[in-house]
């Protein structure tokens, strides 16, 4: 077994996360350097503090046995649900999302955004359930538990409302199902209602998709009731899509519309994404120089230290800076896949892959959003965007991964090593 008090560390993993965090803090510092000073000028110091706390948290988590984590997954999850329920009634908004209730306030003090913590607890519980079976889910019946684990917090977070984080949960669910070895057929059929939901607004598109789905069902030959259930689900989501659209808040509708064409309202809802593109595009190969971005300095770039922090990278450090950042993320992802692949047991492997999925969706959606490749959902960029809860939860996740790597086949003192 391991030496007492010493956990060997997957240095490439930690160093890449640390480099990303330092890169992020440098950009958050630059984001505060505007011609007319705002409070953003000072937030980089807090971010340094959060990183320090995150490192401490990661160290502490890495000392916990994974068995213990598997064991407390259920109580942790229950606590998370309770907090999310509490938020639904007493949550507070902040910053750019003033009207949502994502902040936990106790006694007038903002404690953080529990939905960040929820990502980890959901990954833990989902891992526990999926690992319990020796075979991957074979039919819809096998999926009710994973669906419930993700569905409950998902609904609570959608209710805040925080669509962005909701998307992350969907990503986690699908990624972990994939990692558990679920068949492609089931995964595609499972995803089909979501496609219907997106295409539901346009009758012709949805009609075509529906015919394709029928063909898929006949081709894959699931159980009769299962096929019927998928078809029914697609009918339902396709029908409620327009109704849901009506239910969306005006700003959410505007965001989705401007995603399709930012120029329809360049002064208001399209403004953010246009200005972000201007900032990134004018960066060129090497950027305008660190802290020198004019779009940022002159406040044309919105939320330059949170949602659009990557636009600052693009403007000031150019394509080169973007490439370095994306390469670091890529390396981190590959390293986590390696950790998941070499994990000692299926639970820890699933947890590692779930955490990867969470970051992957964050990076893809956030970075894509700065170029209008993704709708503006307001989800932050891991290690870059200013925010305490996310920095802390990200480093807690790194701590978990360090532990998984340590216990896994690649760890120096882990059971798999020789």
Partner 1 sequence: MSWLPNDVARRARIAGKIAAAAMLFLMVAFFRTQIMRYQRWVLQSEGNRLREVPIPAPRGTILDRNGKVIAENVVGYTVSVLAQSEDSLRGTLRRLAAKVPLSSLQFDRSMQRFRQAPLRPTLIFSDASFSVVSVLEEHRVDFPSVIILAGPRRHYPNGPAVQPFVGYTGEISEEELSQSQFASYRAGQIIGKGGLEKQYEAVLHGREGSRFVEVDAHGRVVREEGAQARLPAQAESLQTNIDLDLQLFVAKLFGDSLVGGAVVMDPTTGAVLSLYSAPSYDPNEFIGGVSFAYYDSLRNNPNRPLYNKALQGIYPPGSTWKLATAILGLQEDVITTESRMPQQCTGYYYFGDRAWRCWEKAGHGSLTLTGAIAKSCDVYFYQLGLKLGLSRLVAGGAQLGFSRKSDIDLPEEKRSVYPDRMQYFNDKYGERGWTSGSAALNMSIGQGDNAQTIVNMARFYSALATDGAAAKPEIVQRRPERTRIMNLRPEQLADLRTAMIGVVSTGGTAASAALKGVTLAGKTGSAQTSSTGGKGKECDHAWFVGFAPVEAPKIVVSVMLECGGHGYLAARIASAIIGKYLGVTPISLIQTEGND
Task: List residues binding partner 1 (CB under 8 A).
Answer: 34-36, 130-131, 133-136, 178-181, 275, 277-285, 294-295, 297-300, 314, 318-319, 322-323, 326-327, 329-330, 333-334, 337-338, 340-341, 346, 349-350, 353, 356, 360, 364, 367-368, 371, 373
Contact residues for 274 (Cβ-Cβ < 8 A; gap 6+): 262, 263, 266
161 prior amide bond cis, ω within 30: yes
Query: Bridge-partner residues for 92, per DSSP?
Result: 103
Do the beta carbons of residue 185 and residue 136 sit within 8 Å?
A: no
Name which of 154 and 329 has its Cβ closer to partner 1.
Answer: 329
Name which of 83 and 351 has its Cβ closer to partner 1.
Answer: 351
Name which of 59 and 331 has its Cβ closer to partner 1.
Answer: 331
Q: How far is the CB of 262 from partner 1 (least distance, A)?
A: 13
Do the beta carbons of residue 369 and residue 377 sit within 8 Å?
A: yes
> How far, in Å, CA of 353 to CA of 336, rounded?
7
Query: Bridge-partner residues for 105, per DSSP?
Result: 110
Q: How far is the CB of 50 from partner 1 (least distance, A)?
A: 26
Q: How far is the CB of 225 from partner 1 (least distance, A)?
A: 24
Name which of 54 and 382 has its Cβ closer to partner 1.
Answer: 382
> How far, in Å, CA of 144 to CA of 34, rounded?
51
211 prior amide bond cis, ω within 30: no
Q: What are 282's two structure tokens?
A: 């004018």
Residue 408's alpha-carbon distances to 60, 172, 326, 341, in angstroms, are 18, 22, 27, 9
Report, in this order, helix, strand and coil percent for the chain, each rounded to 5. Answer: 70, 5, 30
Name which of 372 and 393 has its Cβ closer to partner 1.
Answer: 372
Query: Bridge-partner residues for 110, per DSSP?
Result: 105
Name which of 226 and 341 has its Cβ closer to partner 1.
Answer: 341
Name which of 280 and 400 has its Cβ closer to partner 1.
Answer: 280
| DSSP codes of every residue in 309-356 | HHHHHHHHHHHHHHHHHHHHHHHHHHHHHHHHHT-SSHHHHHHHHHHH
Q: How far is the CB of 212 from partner 1 (least distance, A)?
A: 22
DSSP secondary structure code for residue 94 in this structure: B
Q: How far is the CB of 270 from partner 1 (least distance, A)?
A: 13
Q: How far is the CB of 386 from partner 1 (least distance, A)?
A: 19
Q: How far is the CB of 323 from partner 1 (least distance, A)?
A: 6
Q: How far is the CB of 275 from partner 1 (least distance, A)?
A: 8
> How far, in Å, CA of 6 to CA of 392, rounded?
23
Name which of 93 and 181 has its Cβ closer to partner 1.
Answer: 181
């Amino acid at each position: 077994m391991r030496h007492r008090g010493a956990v060997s560390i997957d240095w490439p993993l930690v160093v890449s996360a640390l480099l990303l965090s330092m890169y992020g803090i440098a950009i958050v510092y630059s984001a505060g350097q505007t011609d007319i000073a705002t409070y953003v000028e000072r937030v980089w110091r807090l971010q340094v503090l959060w990183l320090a706390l995150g490192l401490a948290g990661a160290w502490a988590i890495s000392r916990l046995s994974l068995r213990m984590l598997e064991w407390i997954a259920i109580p942790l999850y229950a606590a998370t649900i309770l907090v999310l329920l509490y938020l639904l009634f007493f949550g507070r908004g902040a910053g750019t999302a003033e009207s949502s209730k994502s902040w936990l306030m106790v006694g007038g003090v903002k404690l953080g955004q529990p939905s960040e913590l929820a990502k980890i607890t959901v990954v833990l519980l989902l891992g526990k359930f999926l690992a319990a079976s020796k075979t991957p889910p074979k039919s819809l019946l096998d999926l009710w538990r994973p669906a419930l684990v993700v569905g409950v917090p998902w609904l609570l977070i959608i209710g805040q409302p925080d669509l962005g984080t909701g998307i992350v949960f969907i990503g986690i669910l699908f990624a972990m199902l994939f990692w558990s070895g679920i068949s492609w057929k089931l995964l595609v059929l499972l995803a089909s209602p979501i496609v219907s939901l997106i295409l539901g607004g346009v009758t012709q598109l949805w009609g075509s998709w529906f015919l394709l789905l029928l063909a898929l069902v006949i081709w894959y030959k699931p159980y009769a009731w299962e096929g019927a259930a998928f078809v029914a689900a697609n009918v339902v989501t396709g029908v409620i899509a327009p109704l849901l659209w009506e239910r969306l808040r005006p700003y959410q509708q505007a965001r989705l519309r401007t995603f399709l064409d930012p120029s329809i309202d360049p002064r208001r809802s399209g403004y953010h994404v246009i200005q972000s593109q201007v900032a990134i595009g004018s960066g060129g190969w090497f950027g305008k120089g660190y802290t020198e971005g004019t779009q940022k300095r002159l406040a044309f770039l919105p939320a330059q230290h949170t949602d659009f922090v990557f636009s600052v990278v693009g403007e000031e450090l150019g394509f080169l800076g973007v490439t370095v950042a994306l390469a670091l993320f890529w390396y981190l992802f590959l390293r986590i896949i390696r950790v998941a692949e070499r994990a000692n047991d299926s639970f820890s492997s699933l947890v590692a892959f779930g955490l990867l999925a969470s970051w992957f969706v964050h990076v893809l959606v956030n970075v894509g959003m700065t170029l209008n490749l993704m709708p503006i959902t307001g989800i932050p960029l891991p290690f870059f965007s200013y925010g305490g809860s996310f920095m802390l939860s990200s480093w807690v996740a790194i701590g978990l991964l360090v532990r998984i790597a340590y216990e896994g086949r690649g760890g120096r003192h882990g059971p798999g090593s020789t």
